[in-house]
Amino acid sequence: MSDDVFSSGPSRDDELNALRSEVRSLRSRIQELESGGASVPDSMLFDTSFLKRSFAVFGHHFVANLIISILIGLPIALLLVLLGVLSA
């Protein structure tokens, strides 16, 4: 049998060069990512101390609860005041 039957695709040297080029590209991307491309934000939510993380979560919960209470409580309070004034 002849090698002509199996040589329809790129040669092994071409494949090897393509793989080497891809490895170089991947190595440069890895170095770019490790050099500070994606870092963790400076927040107490990501601290190693459990106590700091728990207070950070509590603070976020408190502020969210405060905002929701104000948004729901003010219209209800205004409605009650208006109804109280109108009924008198």
Q: How far is CA 15 from CA 26, 51, 66, in A?
A: 16, 55, 62
Select the more confidently predicted residue: 25 or 7.
25
What confidence score (pLDDT) does residue 6 get?
58
What confidence score (pLDDT) does residue 18 get?
93
- Tokens for 23? 């490895």
51 and 35, same domain (yes or no): no
Residue 55 structural domain = 42-88
Segment 29-46 mean pLDDT: 81
pLDDT in tens, 39-85: 777 889 988 999 999 999 999 999 999 999 999 999 998 998 988 87
Is residue 7 scored above 70 in pLDDT?
Answer: no
52 and 85, same domain (yes or no): yes
22 and 50, same domain (yes or no): no
Give me the number of domains the chain comprises.
2
